[in-house]
Amino acid sequence: MKRTEKIIKSFDGEEVWYEKFGTGKETLFLVDGIATIGFIWQYIIPYFQDRYQILHMTFRGHGKSPVPEDCSTVTIENSVKDLHAVLKDAGIDKAIMLGHSMGVQTIYEFHRQYPDCTKALIPICGSYGKLFKSYHGTDKLEPFAKMLINFIFKPHKPLLQKLQKKLVYNSLAYNIVKAELNAHLIKKEDFMPYLKDIRDSLSLKAFGYLLESSIKHSTLDFLPTIQIPVLIIAGEKDKMTPTFLSIKMFKLIPNAKLKVLKWGSHTAPIEQPEVTNMYIEEFLFENGLI
């Protein structure tokens, strides 16, 4: 299936990269979590690309999207405007927005800012915002996260870049991170591209500013006003964005649907790709989005 990629200028002149797959009447727009560059979509893209157009953009300073001169522009709000710029460049009026992890609060914000551009929402293993208010089910990690942002990531010392290159992409790093995931379901070859992307293609300074934005930003007040179809997919054992957040979103969004992947962690879409794709496909069919 044909794939194209492109770098465009966004609303403020900064550049972002996106790729486009497939053909079809409807468009799926895949929105990453922070510090990720598409690895979570590796089973969704090939499953749907014969029937849908698929767009995928990387955030500023992530992957092939250049690092902006002023990294303070790397925010949730500007990322939403970048997504809209990509949609316009691709010549698409409306899309079905899928978001994973931080991409969940991003697609909610996108729908708030551009309601006429959104046909449906599929939030996956994420939250409505204020990331560290519920990380591992507690807010106790938020002060530590803020310290890392202000003293480590945003200053971006040369030593940090050296550590990023040496320590991130190896079996030890994988085994450490695996403790957050379902080690019995995830395949190492599916997860290692994530660590490789962090090593090779992530600006830690841009990451720091985007993480800061995700901690401050929330769409909680907006959820009860959503009137379009919504499918919430949660991982039963997700430690980063616990299932109670998905249940809360389900209760607040009128007519939303909730599917919980049994034993699924934060990377449930690559742990249980067949079930994830089935839930998405059923939702699209039920809402005439085919």
Give backbone dihedrals phi and psi of 31, rounded to 5 degrees, phi first. Answer: -115, 120
pLDDT, residue 112, reads: 98
User: At residue 279, does pLDDT exceed 90?
Assistant: yes
Three-state DSSP at 286 gives helix
Nearest to 98 by CA among 86, 85, 111, 89: 111
- The reply to whether the predicted model has a pTM over 0.85 is yes
Instruction: Give the contacts of 232 (CB within 8 A, at least 6 positions apart).
Output: 122, 123, 246, 249, 250, 253, 256, 257, 258, 259
pLDDT at res. 157: 75
Token match 């039920």: residue? Answer: 286
Bridge partner list, 100? 124
Tokens in use for 250?
A: 């389900």
Which backbone phi and psi does 54 adopt, to 5 degrees?
-130, 130
% the chain with pLDDT above 90:
86
**Residue 163 pLDDT:** 85
Q: What number is the average pLDDT over the span 125-141?
A: 92
Alpha helices in 49-167 (DSSP H): 76-89, 102-113, 142-148, 158-167
User: What does the pLDDT read at residue 1?
Assistant: 62
Amino acid 124: pLDDT? 98
Q: Using 50, 70 and 90 to split pLDDT, how confident is the model at 119? A: very high
Helix (H, G, I), strand (E, B) or coil at 69: coil
DSSP 254-284: TT-EEEEETT--TTHHHHSHHHHHHHHHHHH
Q: pLDDT tens for residues 143-196? A: 999 999 999 899 877 778 888 988 888 888 999 898 899 989 999 999 999 999
Could you read off the pLDDT of 59-90 as tens digits, one per residue? 999 999 999 999 999 999 999 999 999 999 99
Q: What is the mean pLDDT of the chain?
A: 95
Whether the predicted pLDDT of 2 surpasses 90: no
Give dist(CA 244, CA 234) in Å, integer: 9
For residue 160, count CB atoms less than 10 angstroms from its CB and return exposed for 0-12, middle for 13-18, buried for 19 or more.
middle
pLDDT of residue 263 exceeding 70:
yes
Beta strands in the chain (DSSP E): 3-9, 15-21, 27-31, 53-57, 95-100, 118-124, 231-235, 257-261
Rounded to an integer, what distance in angstroms lies between the CA atom of residue 218 and that of residue 127?
Answer: 9
**pLDDT tens per residue, range 211-251:** 999 999 999 999 999 999 999 999 999 999 999 999 999 99
CA 245 to mean position of chain CA atoms: 16
Handedness of CA 69, 70, 76, 82 (dihedral sign): negative
Instruction: Work out the number of other CB atoms within 10 angstroms of the CB of residue 198.
Output: 20
Q: Which numeric CATH code is attached to 3-286?
A: 3.40.50.1820
| pLDDT mean over 190-206 | 95
